């Protein structure tokens, strides 16, 4: 029960974090490595559960972690060091559209570039499977199925 309370407390803290302006100066993504690695391990365990049960243990936690990752990515440089593209790629294949939308938004945050900065390629830019799935999702959206998808 203590673990569930800790997770609920974490959800509250992260929800507050993502709802406010970013409280730090734009910085190197390495400053967030421990959190992003932990997030990756949570997503990995959720994916394992999903593959066996076709549902997530805690969808709300996944969504909050993805939104927090987006918030961090928009305010970080050295995005090419982000090591969880493979996990995001795996999440592109889930049938949960709410999670899928946040995965797409997270990939967008990873691929987004500040126009005034130099151009560097990330693992997501080089991943053909990710590009293919994103095109499929965009085509699905262009067919008029869902007009509510918005990106930052």
| For range 7-33, the mean pLDDT | 86
| The model's pTM | 0.75
Reported as type and span, the H/E element at residue 74 is: helix 59-74
Q: Sorting pLDDT into bands at 50, 70 and 90, what band is 2?
A: low
pLDDT in tens, 92-137: 989 999 999 999 999 888 887 655 555 555 566 666 677 666 666 6
d(CA 30, CA 145): 38
Q: Sorting pLDDT into bands at 50, 70 and 90, what band is 152?
A: very low
* Angle, alpha carbons 83-107-17 (nearest 5°): 85
d(CA 83, CA 139): 27
Question: What are the residue boundaries of the structural domains of the chain, listed by start?
Answer: 2-15+28-142
| For range 43-51, the mean pLDDT | 96
Residue 38 neighbours by CB under 8 Å, 6+ apart: none
d(CA 127, CA 125): 6
E strands, the chain, in order: 27-28, 76-77
């Amino acid at each position: 029960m203590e673990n569930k309370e800790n997770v609920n407390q974490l959800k509250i803290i992260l929800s507050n974090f993502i709802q406010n302006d970013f409280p730090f100066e734009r910085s190197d993504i390495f400053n967030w490595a421990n959190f992003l690695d932990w997030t990756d391990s949570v997503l990995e365990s959720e994916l394992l559960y999903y593959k066996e049960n076709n549902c997530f243990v805690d969808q709300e936690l996944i969504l909050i972690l993805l939104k927090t990752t987006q918030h961090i990515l928009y305010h970080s440089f050295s995005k090419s060091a982000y090591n969880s593209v493979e996990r995001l790629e795996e999440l592109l294949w889930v049938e949960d559209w709410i999670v899928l939308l946040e995965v797409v938004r997270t990939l967008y945050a990873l691929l987004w570039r500040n126009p005034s900065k130099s151009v560097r390629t990330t693992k997501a830019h080089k991943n053909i499977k990710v590009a293919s799935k994103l095109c499929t999702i965009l085509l699905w959206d262009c067919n008029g199925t869902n007009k509510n998808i918005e990106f930052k």
